[in-house]
A and B are shown apart, each in its own frame.
Chain A
């Protein structure tokens, strides 16, 4: 049974128009005007360049002007040519800057938002996928802002300017260019529509091929154990071959769009050259032939390739656009995820010295698109009690712990810590009241000591050592040459699950809190490591008494607990021992 009907995704979130509008809204406001101004400058310089070259040749060839009289024009031309390179470089610098600011802001916004959404909702999406979205997909936007968007402005302004200027010289030549121009986007759109869909499939195929290959590298050992070297090599070759054949089928079509553009560019130049040549020879009478001269003819001819060049570059950057649209499609739904816990309104100064009583009444909670996990759940725990919550996996034990911890908020009901409404507490106040330990310990890049302190600068070295002793971290760090300063992570020392969990417990107990919440703290551990964890919790309690609520199905936890509750159908039933 579904509690809430699955809502159709917002069409605005999935449509290409929606992605484009969103991508454009991310760009700094100055990018569009700056791109247009630079494109306009480039257009003027290009036209001046063609005009000066054509005029010099006309003057020397037709008017017999001595070269001495041309020097001022030639120096002017040199200046124009340098300006052209300058405009080109400037446009590149400006757009690289714009792209950097978009990516920087977006990644920050995205990570901050993911923190709000919370681990519970993110876990099913897979950390690997999220890391890709946060890093690679945000980086994939670079080409869009650094290349595609500025080129879009150039492709509008430069050909437009050239058509106007050419038409003013010879309306027929202008008309010819103007006629090919709208045909180009039309053809490109027709071919592109199919190609874009296909290219997205191809992107998936490439990712799949990379994955297939990666898996084989990962499992080389397995391949060899089964003597399957030759078979797997030919399997990879088979995958590669079918990928190549499929991709080439896509590309044959996709390259048609650039071929169309190439065709129009080449044919237009050829037609203009032949029209101008025949007109100059006096072989044709049609159109404004009479006004043609060598100068205007060359001017038009020189501008013809410049007319097509920005369009051609734009076509080359078309896949940048496709990449950015795909990235936007993957990033935007993340930004639309609702935050796990509404912002609190009230500020309360809780008493953090004594163990807390916990009172839960009529608590109800359901994950989106799933049946109710908790229904009208009531629970009363006196200050200082050690309570165990058991039940089969998937019954909602962890959800209850996350609710008590304030990681997610309940649909209905109320949680009181002491006599304070937990929903009204802000994150720093909550952190002063409760400590938490999860099922799989997470170690952050840094040393073991860094991992215990986790940025709490008020914690002294001796505090850290005390917590490490309490949780038996010192027991294995003593054997390491750098002790607590041993780095963890990729290149550092690898820890077993039990050792990592002891570090995580030391982190949770570094500053004792009146309420300790444990979410399946030992389910991934062997019996000795598990015993060590429960003993450490007991010792910590002897020093600073606290209320402890643990979700676990371990038999050892039963020995440890004062009271045991069984979760059944979203409610808790106390088990008398």
Chain B
């Protein structure tokens, strides 16, 4: 990072660089807490699957592999584009930063539309929400419903985190347009980038748990 000792910083820090590094450290620590949060979900998921394998597989076969895979590609692209934006502001190209953030934002938005507008809509239509009208009956019903509990809770939480991410990326775009970032100062861009990539990582674990495990040949 270019020397930023002349830049303003909050009074408890010794320099702008000190503050910037601390902010990034804080974001990493926050992401660690998120790992424990989703980790508890994944652990419960795997544990429940162990005792209900056949039911979970029956449920997994009802998921929409096409949308799931397209969405994975969308998210990976979105993270990549955002990181490109970060690289651009590091060399001072504000225009490209804004463009990259906008593309990342739109890709994220597309994910949400596909996931909740199309896929969830289809899931509800097929009576896959656990409860009294659940589509799968018979001995595997309990296990399949359990699978779908994890599916809906997991994708809902991930979606909420994505909405948070979209708000943050939008905030970065607004600040960039007001000329608040430069090669000497782009900490918020980096911090939001870390968060955005993390939401991606959560999806990378969700994807096989939902669409691949138990799908069969």
Asked if A and B bind, the verdict is no
